[in-house]
Amino acid sequence: MALYVEAMRRPDNEVPVSVPVCGVLNRSPDLVIAMTSTLVFSDCVEFTVEAYRRSVHGVPMSGYGFGRPETSGFSSPPLLFGIEFSDGTFASNMPGGRRMHGGLSNGRTGHGAPRHFEVTLRLDHLPPAGPFTVVTAWPFYEVPEARVVFDAAVILAAADDAERLWESATADVDWERPRLTADEQLLVMPLTGWFAERFDPTPPPPKFDEHGNEIRYVPVIVDEQGNCTEVTPVRGWRMARDDE
């Protein structure tokens, strides 16, 4: 099981290569589906898929991209996405008993809204040489099946250019997450350089409501009895010291 989960993870020791495997995948009069980004690692690929909808009304598009509906009940069933490779194998986000179909999995968390949807899907291997076909459909929005063909050559060529930074580290089960002090949590603004020359420490002007009352953000702590205690706001930054 540990090896299975590891295979699904995005490499955390590589800088991927962006390749021009992108473009409109499908469209209807009111909705367009596009592949807007493809990142190539040494042994896997990430595809970012977005959808754009004309109307702000109706059911928001689901931000989850892998085979099951969101539990809120407020979003649509997911988009159908599949890839067929030159050797006849395929990968898809169709529902089923497995979390992956042909090595495809949900990547970074997507998001959905009435007019825009985005999700990242990760393929855990490089495609075989030759053309591959991306197939999409979104039955809930009456978007019919459509196919777009890409060439795997650009992906395979880029895989050799993905920069490996260091060997992948194995998680230490005894590792304890360090907790920062209040001072360590502050952003330290440098005293010299580009950022120092352009940083303006002047606080923003106050905001007022329609009745002329100043709008202030006052953080509070709520105890178990429901009592609220105001907390003095803390700036999120400090200037660097002379020895920093």
Domains within the chain, CATH numbers bracketed: 2-164 (2.60.40), 187-239 (no CATH)
- Dig out the tokens for 142 from the structure: 């009456």
Note the pLDDT of residue 7.
43
Which residue bears the tokens 């699904």?
Answer: 8
- Dig out the tokens for 131 from the structure: 């053309």
Note the pLDDT of residue 158.
97
Q: How many other C-beta atoms are found inside a 10 Å radius of the C-beta of residue 40?
A: 24
Note the pLDDT of residue 49.
95
pLDDT tens track, the chain, 244 positions: 333 344 467 888 999 999 999 999 999 999 999 999 999 999 999 999 999 999 888 888 886 767 666 666 678 888 899 999 999 999 998 876 555 678 998 877 667 678 898 999 999 999 999 999 999 999 999 999 999 999 999 999 999 999 999 987 665 556 677 888 878 888 889 999 998 999 888 877 888 888 888 887 666 777 777 787 776 655 688 889 888 8
By C-alpha distance, which of 68, 67, 97 is closest to 82?
67
The Cα–Cα gap between 109 and 14 comes to: 20
Which amino acid, residue 29?
P
* Collapsed DSSP state (helix, strand, coil) of residue 12: coil
Structural contact between residues 150 and 131, judged by C-beta atoms closer than 8 angstroms? yes
Note the pLDDT of residue 228.
78
Note the pLDDT of residue 145.
96
